[in-house]
């Protein structure tokens, strides 16, 4: 617990009870992708009471402090990544699951210039995938048409 307190303090966050409870799940060195929903379920399972809004706010605070990285899957849905090193993702929307792609495995042949008055901050590749089993089912459905 004392390392978690130190991590939060180093990031400029006061180690409140709720932040510590979430830090215990998120800052243990494992690379995970969590949503506010999935993390709220997880925290309730530990016996801690925490509202979805509180979890979401804390995830945002951790992100702003550089402890997490936000992966925007689409406008209404963000996933928070405990791996803050530069990397890319596969996204399976059917299972709402992200898979890491090491940065070195994606090579871009070229990038357009940023629009006037803008500069490029980061390039994050999100490759949409779907489970193979569903592909097969779709093929069968197509054949029976
Ligand atoms: Zn990731």
Using one digit for the tens of pLDDT, what is the confidence trace for 100-116? Answer: 999 999 998 999 999 99
CA of 116 to the centre of ligand 1 (A): 30
Which CATH number is 1-81 given? 1.10.10.10
Across 137-144, average pLDDT: 68
Q: Please give the distance, rounded to the nearest whole angstrom, from the Cα atom of residue 71 to the centre of ligand 1.
A: 8
Residue 98 alpha carbon to ligand 1 centre in Å: 7
Distances (CA, A) of 106 to 3, 19, 76, 112: 35, 35, 26, 17
What was the pLDDT predicted at 138? 66
Which carries the bigger pLDDT value, residue 139 or residue 3?
A: 3
Are residues 22 and 39 in contact, defined by beta-carbon separation less than 8 angstroms? yes
Cα of 29 from ligand 1 centre, angstroms: 13
Q: What is the pLDDT of residue 137?
A: 66
Distance 101 CA to ligand 1 centre (A): 7
Between these two residues, 57 and 137, which has the higher pLDDT value? 57
> Are 127 and 89 in contact, with CB atoms under 8 Å apart?
yes
- Residue 133, pLDDT score: 73
Residue predicted with more confidence, 44 or 138: 44
Model-level pTM greater than 0.85? no
């Amino acid at each position: 617990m004392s390392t978690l307190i130190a991590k939060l303090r180093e990031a400029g966050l006061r180690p409140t009870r709720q932040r510590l409870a979430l830090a215990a799940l998120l800052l243990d060195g494992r690379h995970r992708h969590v949503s506010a929903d999935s993390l709220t379920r997880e925290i309730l399972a530990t016996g801690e009471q925490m509202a979805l809004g509180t979890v979401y706010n804390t995830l945002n605070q951790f992100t702003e402090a550089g402890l997490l990285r936000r992966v925007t899957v689409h406008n209404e849905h963000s996933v928070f990544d405990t791996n803050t090193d530069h990397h890319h993702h596969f996204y399976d929307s059917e299972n709402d699951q992200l898979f890491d792609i090491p940065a070195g495995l994606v090579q871009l042949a070229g990038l357009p210039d940023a629009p006037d008055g803008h500069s490029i901050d980061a390039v994050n590749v999100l490759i949409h995938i779907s489970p193979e089993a569903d592909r097969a089912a779709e093929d069968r459905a197509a054949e029976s048409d």
